[in-house]
Amino acid sequence: MYMALKKVNFAAGFNKQSVPSALPGQWVDGDFVRFRYTAPEKIGGWQQLTLASKTLPGAARAQVAFTSLAGEKYTAIGTSQGLFLFYGDDFFDITPLDTPITGCTFTTANGSRTITINKASHGLKVGRYITLSATTITAASNFTTAIINQTYEILTVPTAGTFTIQASTAETGSGMTAAGATTVTPYVEIGPTTQTAGYGWGTSSWGASTWNTPRATSAVVLDAGNWSLDNYGQVLVATIFNGKTFTWNAGASGARGIRASTSTSGIVTTNNPTATRFTLVSDRDRHLFHFGTETTIGDTTTQDPMFVRFSNQEDLNTYFPTATNTAGFFTLDTGNEIRAALQGKDYVFVLTDVAAYVIQYVGPPFTFSVRQVGTNCGCISQHGASYVNGAIYWMSNEGGFFMYDGTVKSLPCLVEDFVFTSNNGNLGVNYSSSDVIYSSPNSLYTEVNWFYPTADSEQVNRCVTYNYSENLWTTSTLDRTTYQDQGVYNLPYATDYEDSNTPVFPEILGITNLHGASIYYAHEIGTDQINSTGTTSINAFIRSGDFDIEDGEIFMSMRRFMPDYKLLIGNSKVTLFISDFPSDSQTSSPLGPFTINSTTDKVDTRARGRLLSLKIENDALGETWRYGSFRMDAQPDGRR
């Protein structure tokens, strides 16, 4: 005879701050799940964007969506290798170009596609992208200017005066030896794909090893190549981390898909600082802020990581203060460097590695008021903060999360140890690669995401999510290097970095997978992952803490359980994990998985143990679920 069914209630969100045996009635683990109205459900799927499933070179580090005055929708994406536009379901290359290198010559050999370019002290590196132009060829080669004048990846750098590229066809002539001529225009250098200790030039003494051989690791840290992207109306403002600022105007003649270059050195704004950590347009008063910039414009040696400079109102190119403009500057005084800045409701919010500031427009003669609103609350990375629903949320480099809604507050977090601490087999955040941490809201589900690398990774491989409407936390293995909330587009758009993939766009001869490639996805669409390789199931699961009878003093016997789903498309699986003692490995004694579908009313079991936990999951295409409740027929079954 069955005993009465008992409903087991679970609190919403994950709790990873204790052991599962101490958390009855709570969820302790999961992947690709969220909570809505306290119920767990599988997150939405994602589908690759762009025609021909194009991918971008390098790891994407920033993106911003904006609209032209004509209503055209754009997204700018800055990667470690370039700057690109997403427009009309396709990518366009608007990467600024560096100073042209003239007077280069060719060396080629019959039967080979390899071209050696000769230029003393060229200063270029393996993997950098270059464009050849103004080419002349000698009669000893079959190469034409149409064949040569292309974009290439540098394959090798044999000496300080040579580097090699690969042509689309082989040399059929007798070949050239330091002959012909060409102009080499490199893409602007952005930075490494990862944040690493420094090697090579500048980190060891001259002559310490042979040319092109890495030096030993030094104390120098190479920051990952990064961007800050914002829009000044229909003008894109793009700043390379610790570098120059560039603009691209969506309203310019022929702007769509065309490199809107105002000079051969790219689309650099005039009179702007040349070394800035990042920039931000203040929305209401329309000033362009440079954070961590030069005290003397144009002199990179004067860059101060706590110095702030802002332009004249409605003017991106005027920074010298006068009695008739609103340009100016100031220095923040708490911290070692400015880490992040973002637009709040009617203020600019700035975070150093230690403190928080509010910058608010007050008009002439002071232009802005600057107030320190918090300390011991520094931000972990340039993109480690988000603004949504009237509040700022950020991940701290001191091991926690904070918010600002008029007052700086520490956010209680039930996954804090899991995220920040590496011990007992868990891998917390990799502080040595914190540059790549990226935060963004998903306002469709009242969430803020932080995508971060674990201690064994230099790239993003995990996500922690805060649901600000229900005040709960989840974690996952969703690995997005940038994420753009819905707004300009109806869905969130995000980038996924694959370090072994070869990019498809732009068209670069001899391109390799040295820098990996970024895939662009629309999120919260369907149930699966869809990209150029096909459709893949998103295997989501959630796992409960242990429940027991009389604190585990009595064995429990479960004869049946009744699954109850609010939504179930396809199948779901339920597994019961049983153990006699908390230290037992529950994975060695599962009961199930039991396949559940829309017609399943009950499942008969013979589960017996002191402790029992529950796992709900899916593992096939087209499946999704939202769980309701769990009822079980359980009774005491002795002490041994």
**Domain extents for the chain?**
6-43+541-636, 101-186
pLDDT at position 8: 84
Long-range contacts, stretch 585-590, CB < 8 angstroms, 24+ apart: 586/611, 586/613
Helix and strand counts by DSSP (H, E) for the chain:
2, 51
pLDDT at position 223: 87
485-503 pLDDT tens trace: 999 999 999 999 999 999 9
Encoded tokens for 59: 């790891």
268-304 pLDDT tens trace: 677 899 999 999 999 999 999 999 999 999 999 999 9
Burial class (CB in 10 A: 0-12, 13-18, 19+), 338: buried
29-60 pLDDT tens trace: 999 999 999 999 999 999 999 989 999 999 99
CATH number of 101-186: 2.40.30.20
pLDDT at position 22: 78
Residues 6+ away with beta carbon under 8 Å from 389: 441, 443, 446, 468
Question: Residue written as tokens 């060409």?
Answer: 182
pLDDT at position 204: 37
Residues of the chain with pLDDT under 50: 1-2, 200-215, 217, 256-266
Class of domain 6-43+541-636: mainly beta
pLDDT at position 271: 87
Burial class (CB in 10 A: 0-12, 13-18, 19+), 466: buried
538-552 pLDDT tens trace: 999 999 988 866 565
- How far apart CA 10 and CA 31 sit, in angstroms, is 17
